[in-house]
Structure 1
Amino acid sequence: MTKSDHQMRDDTAATLPARLLGPQRRNLWFWVFVGPFAIGLALFTYVPLLWSVYLSFFNAHNTVNPTDFVGLGNYTAMLSDDAFLSSLGTFLLFTAFIVPATYALSLSLALMVNRLRFAQAFFRSVFFLPTACSYVVASLIWKLSIFNGVRFGLANTVLGWFGVDQTAWLSTTSPPWYWLVIVTVRLWLQAGFYMILFLAGLQRISPQLYEAAAMDGARPGWQVFRHITFPQLRATSVAVVLLLVINAFQAFDEFYNLLSDARGYPPYARPPLVYLYYTALGRDQNLGLGSAGAVILALIIAMATVVQARWFGLGRKED
Structure 2
Amino acid sequence: MAPVVRKLLGPQNRNLWFWVFVGPFAIGLTLFTYVPLCWSVYLSFFDAHNTVSPTDFVGLDNYTAMLGDDAFTDSLVTFGLFTAFIVPATFVLSLSLALMVNRLRWAQAFFRSVFFLPVACSYVVAALIWKMSLFSGVRFGLVNTVLGWFGVDQIAWLSTTDPPWYWLVIVTVRLWLQTGFYMVLFLAGLQRIPPLLYEAAAVDGARPGWQTFRYVTFPQLRATSVAVVLLLVINAFQAFDEFYNLLSDARGYPPYARPPLVYLYYTALGQEQNLGLGSAGAVILALIIALVTVAQARFFRLGRKED
Query: Normalized against structure 1, the TM-score is what?
Result: 0.94
What does residue 201 of structure 2 align with? 213
Determine what percentage of the aligned residue pairs are the same residue: 86
* 1:151 is aligned to 2:144: no
* 1:27 is aligned to 2:10: no
Residues 283-294 of structure 1 aligned to structure 2 (within 5 Å): 283-294=271-282
What does residue 50 of structure 1 align with? 38
Q: Which amino acid letter does the alignment assign opposite residue 180 of structure 1?
A: L
How many Å separate the matches in 2 of 1:204 and 1:309?
A: 22
State the secondary structure of the residue aligned to 1:314: coil
**5+ residue gaps, structure 2:** none
* 1:190 is aligned to 2:190: no
Which of residues 291, 294, 297 is equivalent to 1:306?
294
Query: Normalized against structure 2, the TM-score is what?
Result: 0.97
What does residue 180 of structure 1 align with? 168
Q: Which amino acid letter does the alignment assign opposite residue 157 of structure 1?
A: T
What does residue 228 of structure 1 align with? 216
Q: Which amino acid letter does the alignment assign opposite residue 101 of structure 2?
A: V
Give the superposition deviation at 1:30: 2.1
What does residue 257 of structure 1 align with? 245
What does residue 5 of structure 1 align with? none
Which of residues 97, 103, 106 is equivalent to 1:109?
97
Report the RMSD for the aligned CA atoms in angstroms. Answer: 1.2
Give the superposition deviation at 1:31: 1.6
How many residue pairs get matched? Answer: 306
Give the superposition deviation at 1:162: 0.5
Which of residues 98, 101, 125 is equivalent to 2:86?
98
Which of residues 158, 161, 183 is equivalent to 1:170?
158
State the secondary structure of the residue aligned to 2:234: helix
* 1:202 is aligned to 2:205: no
How many Å separate the matches in 1 of 2:71 and 2:248?
A: 17
CA deviations over 1:13-42 (Å, ceiling 9, x no partner): x93x54442235332222222212211111
Using the TM superposition, name which of 138-147 and 35-44 deviates more: 35-44
Question: Runs ≥4 in structure 1, deviation > 3 angstroms?
Answer: 17-20
Residues 5-44 of structure 1 aligned to structure 2 (within 5 Å): 15=4, 18-44=6-32
Which of residues 256, 273, 277 is equivalent to 1:268?
256
Compared with structure 1, are the counterparts of its residues 193 and 93 closer, same or farther at alpha carbon in structure 2 (3 Å cutoff)?
same
